[in-house]
């Protein structure tokens, strides 16, 4: 059974750091694009970052570029999101997602077929 389990969220002060993890089971990362999305309170789902199927290319939403880093460990079948200089507007439930086979668009949620349950990140003084 394909399953994604996200963890690492919590409460952090503005300017702080968090490292999110997403452990995958039922498939291996290497053939698929993997990504992170988030849903802030009262807002629609927002794409955050994506990692190519070969793990050699990463792309980011403008709102997090320069602050967040996506990476993957194929041996551990785990996806990571390092979040630096966190801002209150980063407060959201963060979801990891598996891209569909042959995905071309990294940022569209409809191009992903499995999702983690989410981990809450709260950035507040």
Can you give the pLDDT at residue 45? 98
DSSP 17-70: -EEEEEEEESS-STTS-EEEEEE-TTS--EEEEEE-TTS--EEE-TTTTTTEEE
- What confidence tens digit (pLDDT) does each residue in 31-89 have? 899 999 999 999 999 999 999 988 889 999 999 999 999 999 989 999 999 999 999 99
Across the range 100-107, mean pLDDT stands at: 86
Separation of alpha carbons 80 and 14, rounded Å = 20
Can you give the pLDDT at residue 120? 98
55-65 per-residue burial string, b: 16 or more CB within 10 A, e: under 16 = beebebbeebe
- What confidence tens digit (pLDDT) does each residue in 10-36 have? 999 999 999 999 999 998 887 899 999
Of 23, 21, 28, 31, the C-alpha closest to 54 is 31
Can you give the pLDDT at residue 56? 86
Cβ atoms within 10 Å, residue 12: 17
> Is the pLDDT at 103 greater than 80, yes or no?
no
Band of residue 114 on the pLDDT scale cut at 50, 70, 90: very high
Separation of alpha carbons 33 and 57, rounded Å = 10
Tokens of 53: 């199927």
Separation of alpha carbons 73 and 106, rounded Å = 19
């Amino acid at each position: 059974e394909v399953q994604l389990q996200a963890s690492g969220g919590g409460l952090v002060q503005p300017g702080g750091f968090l490292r999110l993890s997403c452990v995958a089971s039922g498939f291996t990362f290497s053939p698929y694009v993997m990504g992170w999305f988030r849903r802030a309170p009262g807002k629609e789902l927002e794409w955050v970052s994506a990692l190519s199927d070969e793990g050699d290319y990463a792309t980011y939403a403008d709102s997090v570029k320069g602050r967040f880093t996506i990476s993957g460990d194929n041996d551990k079948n785990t996806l990571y999101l390092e979040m630096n200089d966190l801002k209150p507007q980063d407060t959201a439930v963060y979801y990891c997602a598996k891209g569909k086979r042959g995905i071309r668009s990294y940022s569209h949620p409809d191009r992903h077929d499995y999702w983690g349950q989410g981990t809450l990140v709260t950035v507040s003084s």
